[in-house]
Amino acid sequence: MLEINNLSVRYGGIQALQDVSLQVTEGEIVTLIGANGAGKTTTLRTISRLVTMGSGQIIYNGKSINNLRPDRIVQIGIAHSPEGRRVLARQTVLDNLELGAFLRSDRWGIKADIEKQFEIFPRLGERRHQLAGTLSGGEQQMLAIARAVMSRPKLLLLDEPSLGLAPQIIREIFKTIVNLNQSGVTILLVEQNANLALQHAHRGYVMESGIITIEGKAADLLIDERVRKAYLG
């Protein structure tokens, strides 16, 4: 489904990504783990075309998306739930969800999908007319994921969904991620909590200083001594 070949990105004089190659097969949860500043978020933002790439290829369903605009990325079936949630604080929960479907024209389908998100995240349903900026951190994360899903993506890019959340909320979020995957959404997950990510993923990649250093099945990475020493404690 997604194939990245020799992707390099520079910010001024800083090499953020260097010859990064990875693959995501349809139906998988693939996780990208690593320390802060390793280049994980840059990878997702480059796929979404929010960051300009220097060289390499990003292939989605057999076609290059190197030169597509961000709105076209959403149109072809890739959605991005960003690090830090980035909800529209002065808009309601409902407004945020409707924004997630801004490229769709099926009014009744949009309405049905909003109600479906309220079933998945009952707290959002209870707060549908509340300003997003007044939600708790966990509720904002739920909203960020629900908003991304409103575009009906085939591939969902999730950036640090557990960041700053209480353990109970994290369990809810990851249960939702697994359910989304089982419903047919392929997921590329960036997550600092390596143990949690590898427990829920099919495969994983380890990134250090903009370079992929280790890759393999998630179950194998969980017992890999290099990964355990560096990321699992």
> Mean of the pLDDT values across residues 31-39?
91
pLDDT for res 131 = 95
In the predicted structure, residue 105 carries a pLDDT above the cut 90: no
Q: How many CB atoms lie within 10 A of CB 214?
A: 18
At 94, which CATH number?
3.40.50.300
- pLDDT tens for 51-89 read 999 999 999 999 999 999 999 999 999 999 988 678 888
Cβ proximity of 17 and 4 under 8 Å:
no
Q: How are strands ordered across the β-sheet holding 186-190?
A: 78-81, 155-159, 186-190, 29-33, 203-208, 211-217
- pLDDT tens for 146-159 read 999 999 999 999 99
pLDDT for res 185 = 96
Which residues are CB-contacts of 118 (< 8 A; sequence separation ≥ 6)? 124, 125, 128
The domain of 30 spans 2-232
> Mean of the pLDDT values across residues 133-138?
89
- Mean pLDDT score across all residues of the chain: 92
Cβ proximity of 80 and 148 under 8 Å:
yes
In the predicted structure, residue 168 carries a pLDDT above the cut 90: no
pLDDT for res 85 = 73
Counted domains in the chain: 1
In the predicted structure, residue 233 carries a pLDDT above the cut 70: no
